[in-house]
Amino acid sequence: MNILITGAGGFIGGSLVRYFHNKGFSIRAVDKKPLPLWCQLTTGVESLCLDVSEWENCRRVCEGVEEVYNLAADMGGIGFIEKNRIECLRSILINTNMLEAAYRAGVGRYFYSSSACVYNTDLQKDPNCRALKETDAYPALSERGYGWEKLLSEMFCQEYWAERGMKPFIARFHNAYGALGSWNDGREKAPAAICRKVIEAKHSGSGQIEIWGDGTQTRSYMYIDDCTYGIDSIVHCDDLIATPINLGSHELISVDDLVTLAEEFAGLNLHRVYNLNAPNGVAGRNSDNKMVRRILGWEPNTPLRVGLKKTYDWIEQQYLAQKQENKLT
């Protein structure tokens, strides 16, 4: 089978390329970033540098493929999406052009990577929040910019099924993390950012860490291996055609406790400085996994302690390598 993966230069997209390549599929990987800036490159994969917000590029990359996995978007951690709402909203061009190109090319299955940012923000004002189920996206009150773009793109996918019979599949990601992702470029998410800050404090001897917000904000975090397996399972389950579903861990943790976990890996205790003016997003968000357990008989299950330790160790390797390179130059 020939598979197209857009956003392949990103963390999840690159991991999905490797996942399907290891299963023996023929992959066309696409991202607008130059190849040296991709998070990972998989040998034996057709890798193209193209901007799929443009129609002609979408038409070109969809030719001859049987499944499309659209993960292309301008996004990042909370610091990025709160400060770049226009760029996040412009990602609607990617999905609208990709859907039409995939339909015209006769693509059988189309995956859209949505986000838990689509959920009603009134339900996320308490760190001790209840887990969000799929129906909680309506009445709609998504996060500005990124969340609204994701929700509208979900609707586009559903209409291509209703009117044209193309099979779309939609997963609402809850904070994927792991090695090979962004950790120091301004697009990193909380697990990577906190690991990096603890590592910096450890090797500099500063003895302190800056935390965005008051530390009480809660989230659940999904390890990347669970994410790629979950995408594959969702796309190949006909019960989920045009049906948004949560893809995330239900293991809720506060920012303060996430810092404590990273401190344990580093073997130190840091003085915490809370930056209350920094972006910090909603107060609490967790994934209700009843639907994914019922339909797939599975849910993301890598313990946070296990996945975060692997992530911490990888980031520390990158940090030390970069530090050594800076010394040499």
Inter-residue contact 48 to 29 (CB < 8 Å)? yes
Per DSSP, the residues of 241-296 read: TT--EEES---EEEHHHHHHHHHHHHT---EEEEETTS----SB--B--HHHHHHH
Give the angle 322-42-109 at the CA atoms, nearest 5°: 130
Quote the CA–CA distance of 276 and 271 in Å, as a whole number.
Answer: 16
User: How many CB atoms are located within 10 Å of the residue 135 CB?
Assistant: 9
**Secondary structure (3-state) at 127:** coil
The one catalytic residue among 119, 146, 223, 312: 146
Q: Check if 69 is active-site.
A: no
Cα distances from 179 to residues 15, 24, 130, 316, in angstroms, run 10, 23, 29, 11
Give the E-state strand segments of 156-254 in sequence order.
167-173, 176-177, 208-212, 218-220, 222-223, 245-247, 252-254
Nearest to 227 by CA among 239, 245, 214, 212: 245
* Catalytically active residues, by annotation: 146
